[in-house]
Amino acid sequence: MRLVLASTSPRRLDLLTRIGAVPDRVAAPDVDEDVRPGELPRPYVLRVATAKAHAVTRADDEIVLAGDTSIAVGRRILGKPEDEADLRRMLALLSGRRHHCLSAICVIGPDGKARTRVADTVVAFKRLSDADIDWYVASGEGMGKAGGYAIQGKAEAFVRFLSGSHSGVVGLPVFEARALLAGAGYPLG
């Protein structure tokens, strides 16, 4: 049985290999990740993860795994910042408050059945000063990251509380990934 990772994220690849699931190939899914009008965070991440899994060609002996991670503040979905001003806006919004990191996984097994899970992690940032925001923006680390931060990097210094899956905030909840892969028949040690 062969594993296909429907993602070019180096973080997802690293997290998968940590649980002994080394993909036989990596494919870049081409899907629309725009938030639809009125779409709520949980259905959004599930839709995108499922679309990514279905966007990759799968042979009969292959299992496809795809994921999507988003940051939600209430009903608002924070994607990847468009520019430095957008990153500053996101950090100011996250400052001193709790938010949800929703990390969805979709696994399509040899039977063609799509199996999904969502890890919901609550993260609270300390109150960020202008100097904190300037320092983080200058690092360049937040660009290209959901919600404008990478918990596995410098932004970890802002986290005063976390309840849930740390790996889910990084980009792939490994507990859920392992369970879905096992359910699809992928051999794990």
The closest alpha carbon to 27, from 73, 1, 71, 59, belongs to 59
- List own/partner pairs for 109-113 with CB under 8 A and 24 or more apart: 109/63, 109/183, 109/184, 109/185, 109/186, 110/1, 110/60, 110/61, 110/62, 110/63, 110/184, 110/185, 111/184, 113/184
The question of whether 83 is a catalytic residue gets the answer: no
Return the structure tokens found at 168: 């889910």
Which one is catalytic: 32, 68, 86, 134?
68
User: How does DSSP assign 117-180, residue by residue?
Assistant: EEEEEEEEEPPPPHHHHHHHHHHTTTTTSGGG--TTTGGGGGEEEEES-HHHHHT--HHHHHHH
Kindly list the catalytic residues: 68
